[in-house]
Amino acid sequence: MSRRRGSWGAARSAVLMAQVQLCACLGPLSIPPGARVSCDDDGDCPTSLVCDQARTRCVPEQGPCVDGGTALPDGLPCETDRLCVAGFCVASSCGDGVLDVAAGEQCDQGDANADLEPGHCRSDCTPPRCGDGVVDVDEGCDDASNPHCSDCDLVCPVERSDCDGSGECECTLDALPVTLTRVFAAAADDDALYLAATGAGPGISLLRRAHDADGDAELLADGLDLFGDIMVVGDAIVLRDGAIPSMVPTAGGPVTPLFEPVIDLAVDGDAFVTFDDELPTTRVTLDGATSELGPPVPACTSGVVIDGVPYASTDLGAVVRVDADGLAVLAERQFEITGVQLATDGRALWWLDDRGDLWRLDPAIPDAIRVAQAPPSLVGARPYDLQVDVRGFAWRAELGGGLTIDDVVVVGAAPAGPRMRARPGSVVDTLAIAPTVLCFSSFDDVYCLPR
């Protein structure tokens, strides 16, 4: 064993000696102009370079791109057809990551330049644009051969839809074989679509139809006095029956009241949270147990929950976080129409403003970001019923005015813009999304499209 150790030590010494001899032969280290070498002080830099400590990188001791040992900003002209890059005066080229306006560059993201990626600077240093064949931010389509793609805005004719999600209005929808007269609310999970509708029994009925079913929906409960939306919570449907939060098992059963009348409800894991302008914000489990989370929300219009924390919107245009000791304002003057609703994908807050622009707010970064701008054909349309999950978003918009009814279903996923997915030629009453399907109703018809 000791001989092995000795052999290893001798070999290691020989390697180290060879490395020392090699380094002695290399001479002074040099770097190409424009290369970025990190440093903490001048001793970290090769000969003729000094450390620009403000930017922690080596720059020439003197030259047209250095002032007192500090590199001038990248992109400044220094000689004919040359620019300052990392303190060096170098020839400019598209793709070097430095914007050269004099050379006609409109953008330059360096290695990130790409001709096929949405939202990227193109390989010729021009920005993404309508007509380049890539569906970019705020574009619904980009295909000159598609007759429904107008100025990169997908506009389906009445009674035509984009059934397969390819960006063309290639089909006429077939309604599901369900017996009802009008749908007032809808929700969906991995297995089924749930509908609150008339025509299946006395009053408003709660119905369930499996996504893989061929026939009619099954009745879960009837005689409801529905207020607002319905939602899937665990193995139950939670709704407001006469404004009272109540539950119905997804397998069918009695309607069980769980709390006092409130303005809105939001899913919170296997429970739900109530929002009201008079009652405290409260978490309620399906067995009726309650725990207060915070105060009432004045002028409350809607609420959502992220990681157990409640958030609410108000008819004054504010978005607030509900804490145990008060309300924290995260955004103000976000919309002007009373009743605009918050939505969540489990990570951030989402909402539509009165123009149809989509906003996202990460609670950890309290600055609202406009994710998408409504296509020109939808600007000014009344948007409502926003649905969002980790795969994208969907909403319905009211295009018609006066006696004309012309609603559309709009979908999208960043970084591409929103686009029209369905145009039934009449009102769109409800909208529900699940991981595999997008469903909506129009009077007594219910449709589902693959996502």
Give 132-167 pLDDT, tens digit per residue. Answer: 989 887 787 888 888 888 888 888 888 889 988 887
Q: Let me know if residue 17 belongs to a domain.
A: no
pLDDT band at 31 (very low <50, low <70, confident <90, very high): low
Q: How many domains does the chain have?
A: 4
CA separation for the pair 344, 389 (Å, rounded)? 7
CA separation for the pair 10, 12 (Å, rounded)? 5
pLDDT band at 30 (very low <50, low <70, confident <90, very high): low
Q: Which of 321, 337, 371 is at the close of a domain? A: 371
Lowest mean pLDDT among 7-21, 83-97, 209-223, 285-299: 7-21
Q: Is the pLDDT of residue 402 over 60?
A: no
CA separation for the pair 131, 206 (Å, rounded)? 47
Q: Is the pLDDT of residue 8 over 70?
A: no
Tens-digit pLDDT profile for residues 280-304: 999 999 999 999 999 999 999 999 9
Q: Let me know if residue 243 belongs to a domain.
A: no
Residues 77 and 117 in one domain: no
**pLDDT value for 114:** 93
Residues 409 and 444 in one domain: yes
Total-model pTM: 0.74
**pLDDT value for 273:** 98
Residues 68 and 158 in one domain: no
**Mean predicted confidence (pLDDT) in 179-197:** 95
**β-pairing verdict for 182-188 and 430-433:** unpaired
More confident site: 9 or 314: 314
Q: Let me know if residue 237 belongs to a domain.
A: no
169, 148 in Cβ contact below 8 A?
A: yes
Residues spanned by the domain of 77: 36-91
Q: Let me know if residue 398 belongs to a domain.
A: yes
Residues 267 and 354 in one domain: yes
206, 248 in Cβ contact below 8 A?
A: yes
Q: Let me know if residue 438 belongs to a domain.
A: yes
Residues 384 and 433 in one domain: yes
DSSP string, 196-264: EEESSSSSEEEEEEETT--SPPEEEEEEE-EEEEEEEETTEEEEEETTEEEEEETT----EE-S---SE
Q: Let me know if residue 219 belongs to a domain.
A: no
Q: Which of 320, 350, 371 is at the close of a domain? A: 371
Q: Which helix (H) or strand (E) holds 449?
A: strand 445-450
Q: Is the pLDDT of residue 49 over 70?
A: yes
Residues 148 and 54 in one domain: no
Please give the structure tokens belonging to residue 258. Answer: 């769980």
Q: Let me know if residue 13 belongs to a domain.
A: no
Q: Let me know if residue 179 belongs to a domain.
A: no
Q: Is the pLDDT of residue 338 over 70?
A: no
**Mean predicted confidence (pLDDT) in 171-190:** 93
Q: Which of 315, 344, 371 is at the close of a domain? A: 371
Helix then strand then coil, % of the chain, to nearest 5: 10, 40, 50
Residues linked to residue 226 through DSSP beta bridges, in sequence order: 241
Contacts of 386 (CB under 8 A, 6+ apart): 341, 343, 350, 351, 352, 358, 393, 394, 395
